[in-house]
Amino acid sequence: MVSLKKVLLLLTVILFTANPFRSAAEVAPSTGEVSSPEEINAHIQHHLKDDYYFNFATNSKTGHSYGFPLPVILIDNGLKIFSAAEFDHGKKVVEKDGNYYKLYHSKIYKTDAAGTITYDDHQHPTNAKPLDFSITKNVVGLMLAALLLFIGFMSLAKTYKNGANAIPKGVGRVLEPLVLYVRDEMAVPNIGHRYKEFMPYLLSVFFLIFLLNILGLTPLGFNVTGNITVTLVLALFTFFITTFKANKDYWKHIFWMPGVPVPFKFILAPIEVLGMLTKPFSLMLRLFANITAGHSVVFGLIAIVYLFQQELTVGGSIGVSMLLTLVLFFLELLVAFLQAFIFTMLSSLFIGMAVEEHAHH
């Protein structure tokens, strides 16, 4: 029987030794250590961004990264496919069919043979960017999550071949209570008798967000739900379903509110339209902000070891960082579920408002 102390120790070792956001190009060249707030902030920002490399860990002394590059797929006067290793963490310019490409701040720009980057007045790069369809770390995370969900739900589906009252086995025992929870606590109360029509979407978005949040807490270094483009797409799905499934009563309450004087109808209409557009925006921003803040705080607490390595003893700095990080790590497990719950709950609420059948007297 594994004791709780051993489990906590294992989690601590994983958190401290697996540092997937540190690339070889970003290790301090002089000492190989990260000691200044600026360097630590740069590493945290790098973790929050998407990447063309999948790094499991980095040796802080040698700067050697352990991982593998991902495929780069560009459309620029034709299809160009090559490995991200050719960029050498942004140190080299890649030439393909007479075009030159440079990896700069996690983005690929067209440049010349010397790798020149031009800037505007705000120090933003002005180089053209090719159409980028690369398999980045976030894409790998989405593929992994989809594969795990497919395997899990196939296992759950096989259970019901033996009858509706069959008892799930394995991972199905974990999934079935969550499926029933989404149905009984979100879909049925908020949508009503039409809940079955929207259950596939609600289950998909709940388990996808929940699993991606969990993967983001592992040493794999995923930060998919901390990418605002991902949360934007999820929010747009809710918006499109709400818009295209809405009944005439929903649109009547937006553009011509019943039961109020006519002059006020003209005032309320633009307010209701604005409210309709702010709903997906709130979904997008809430998920993105909470996950990004959680990752930043966790890595910031780990950085205490580096910031106070001179002021505190090694045992003292590691002890403080370990304690705070473990507490916040378990809190992040709760946040991972809460963010999936809130996104799904609000989506079901918005859909229910759109398909609700109003009684007219």
Range of the domain at 148: 139-355
157 and 129 in a common domain: no
- For residue 231, the model assigns a pLDDT of 93
Q: For residue 88, is pLDDT > 80? A: yes
309 and 223 in a common domain: yes
319 and 172 in a common domain: yes
CA distance 300 to 266: 50
Asked whether residue 283 is domain-assigned, the answer is yes
The predicted-structure confidence for 22-35, as pLDDT tens digits, reads as follows 333 333 333 444 45
Token pair listed for 129: 């960017």
Mean pLDDT is lowest, of 34-38, 39-43, 50-54, 274-278, for: 34-38
Asked whether residue 173 is domain-assigned, the answer is yes
The predicted-structure confidence for 119-176, as pLDDT tens digits, reads as follows 988 888 999 999 999 999 889 999 999 999 999 888 888 887 776 667 777 788 888 8
165 and 124 in a common domain: no
150 and 129 in a common domain: no
Q: H-helix or E-strand containing 66?
A: strand 65-69
What is the Cα Rg of the chain in Å?
25
254 and 114 in a common domain: no
3-state secondary structure 92-147: CCEEECCEEEEEECCEEEEECCCCCCCECCCCCECCCCCEECCCCHHHHHHHHHHH
- For the segment 279-293, the average pLDDT, to the nearest whole number, is 88
> How many DSSP H helices and E strands does the chain contain?
11, 8
- Are 298 and 328 within 8 A, CB to CB? yes
**DSSP assignments along 286-324, one per residue:** HHHHHHHHHHHHHHHHHTHHHHTTTTS-HHHHHHHHHHH
162 and 130 in a common domain: no
207 and 121 in a common domain: no
183 and 116 in a common domain: no
Mean pLDDT is lowest, of 37-46, 93-102, 182-191, 336-345, for: 37-46
Sheet holding 79-83, edge to edge: 79-83, 71-75, 131-132
Listed in sequence order, the residues at least 6 apart from 48 whose beta carbon sits closer than 8 Å to its beta carbon are: 223, 226, 292, 295, 296
145 and 121 in a common domain: no
The single-letter DSSP state of residue 171 is T
Q: What percent of the chain has pLDDT over 70?
A: 76
Asked whether residue 198 is domain-assigned, the answer is yes
Q: For residue 348, is pLDDT > 80? A: yes
Asked whether residue 39 is domain-assigned, the answer is no
Q: For residue 6, is pLDDT > 60? A: no
Q: How many domains does the chain have?
A: 2
The predicted-structure confidence for 292-342, as pLDDT tens digits, reads as follows 887 777 777 666 666 665 455 555 555 666 777 677 778 888 888 999 999
Domain end: 134, 151, 169, which one? Answer: 134
CA distance 82 to 93: 13
202 and 163 in a common domain: yes
Asked whether residue 20 is domain-assigned, the answer is no
Domain end: 134, 155, 175, which one? Answer: 134
Domain end: 82, 110, 134, which one? Answer: 134
SS3 32: coil
Asked whether residue 183 is domain-assigned, the answer is yes
147 and 196 in a common domain: yes
Asked whether residue 6 is domain-assigned, the answer is no
CA pseudo-torsion sign 116, 122, 124, 125: negative
- Are 216 and 291 within 8 A, CB to CB? yes
- Strands 99-104 and 94-96: what pairing? antiparallel
pLDDT band per the 50, 70, 90 thresholds, residue 257: confident
Asked whether residue 43 is domain-assigned, the answer is no
